[in-house]
Amino acid sequence: MTLPWLNLKVLHLYLRQSEHLGYDPANNIQITTTTTIRGRLPVTMDASKDRTGFKISRLCCVQGHMSKANDIVVCRSLDTSQEKRHVIYFGGDVQDFKENMSIYNPEYASWDLETVARILHTRLPGSTVFVVRPSEMLLNTFSIFRNFLSFDEDGRPEFSNNFGALIHLAQLYENAVRTVENEVRTAENKVRSVENEVDTVQKSEKASSLSDSTDQCVAHDGDNVPLTCVGLNCSQSVSTEPSLVEKVPISLVGFSKGCVVLNQLMFELGGLKENTDVAEFLSRLEAIYWIDGGHIGRKDAYITDYDVLQNIVNLGVRLLVHVTPYQIMDSNRPWIDIEEREFVQRLKRFGADVQEYKHFMNFKPSIKYHFKVLTQI
């Protein structure tokens, strides 16, 4: 969420007085909290297993480029065979872990990061969703993605073509995926271990009732590592399935303030293509979603620079723009509507595969519908 006022203290009071949101799309999610220490390896926090086959986890302090790190919320299907794409989401102001929002912004707590992860998982079937938490919440309210771009002291974004957002995202994403893979494979190995123990007990009981002529299977590999016997075939219990990093297409989603990260990524497209991590990441992009973008600055809510737009078109991906009256009909920020129209029109002129969706246009500008557009993509 982004809000129109420039003075953050006034804005914080404005948030407190705003209308209450009654929509609670996922009120059965429960998240366990924990404390993490910066600089350690990513820690998988459990989370909750949803009744419909989802699992929501927190990856704490995932490393990206150099010393940068972000917490990430992951929502995935328990059945990994259903996975078709990865979705990376950057949220708006006030969006944080539920326990933090319940204290500082309780009127918006139904739109916490875990809930939005579940919404996107449902709206984009076959997706594993990675929600990138901002590295800073100014006044416990305003999302500052300082690992991706610069912000001034009042939280206004400052774009450039060489900040390093692309390389940070590429490395952050790869480390997050590998952490999830390790979690999945550890769970699978635990299941296999239990199955093997049961199988061993059953064989032992059967052997005791038969003659002593039955051969026993005891094996080691060349390095003297014990192998696991499954039935009559001996095989190692380590998974050889290729990494998901190598095969799953990626969609980027920015909502409200989170769209500034998408814009920064686009500003950097002209450079860093020689970087292996960045080139691989960009080659797997299939779609980019700008969802009701806006921020407290006075420009660049949407990109209008011709060179940058041409670089976006050259990606050859689907571009989707979703807007509501909250942003494009805000009389205090008329530039958002102007930039959004120029953004879409110029992309179409350049031959981009771009689609624009306008939601709740029969309603007055409202924070309620600003958030609810997340259920419409």
DSSP for 189-222, written as a single string: HHHHHHHHHHHHHHHHHHHHTS-TT------B-T
**Residue 199 located in a structural domain:** no
Which pLDDT score is estimated for 210?
A: 44
Classify residue 216: in a domain, yes or no: no
Return the residue matching tokens 């600003």: 370
| Residue recorded with tokens 């912004």 | 105
Sites in the chain below the pLDDT cut of 50: 3-41, 43, 50-51, 210-242
Structure tokens at 90: 């950057």
Residue 285 lies in a domain: yes
SS3 3: coil
Residue 66 lies in a domain: yes
Look at residue 1 in the predicted model and tell me its pLDDT.
57
Residue 212 lies in a domain: no
Give the CATH number of the domain where residue 96 resides: 3.40.50.1820
Which phi-psi region, left, alpha or beta, contains residue 235 (left: φ > 0; alpha: ψ -120 to 50)? Answer: beta
Q: Total domain count for the chain?
A: 1
Residue 173 belongs to some domain of the structure? yes
- Its pTM surpasses 0.85: no
Model pLDDT for residues 112-124, shown as the tens digit of each residue: 999 999 999 999 9
pLDDT for 279 equals: 92
State pLDDT tens for residues 289-337.
Answer: 999 999 998 899 999 999 999 999 999 999 999 999 999 999 999 999 9
Cα separation values, 28 from 31, 48, 110, 118, 129, Å: 10, 9, 11, 11, 18
* Measured distance CA(69)–CA(65) in Å, rounded: 8
Residue 238 maps to a domain? no
Q: Is 128 helix (H, G, I), strand (E, B) or coil?
A: strand
Residues in the chain: 377
Which residue shows structure tokens 């100014």?
A: 138
**Which pLDDT does position 350 carry in this prediction?**
97
pLDDT at position 234? 28
Which residues, in sequence order, are bridge partners of residue 289? 253, 320
Instruction: Indicate whether 230 belongs to any domain.
Output: no
Q: Which pLDDT belongs to residue 53?
A: 85
DSSP state of 241: P
What residues make up the domain containing 45? 8-180+244-375
The alpha helices in the chain, defined as continuous H runs, are 8-17, 98-104, 113-123, 165-208, 259-267, 276-283, 306-314, 325-328, 334-349, 367-372
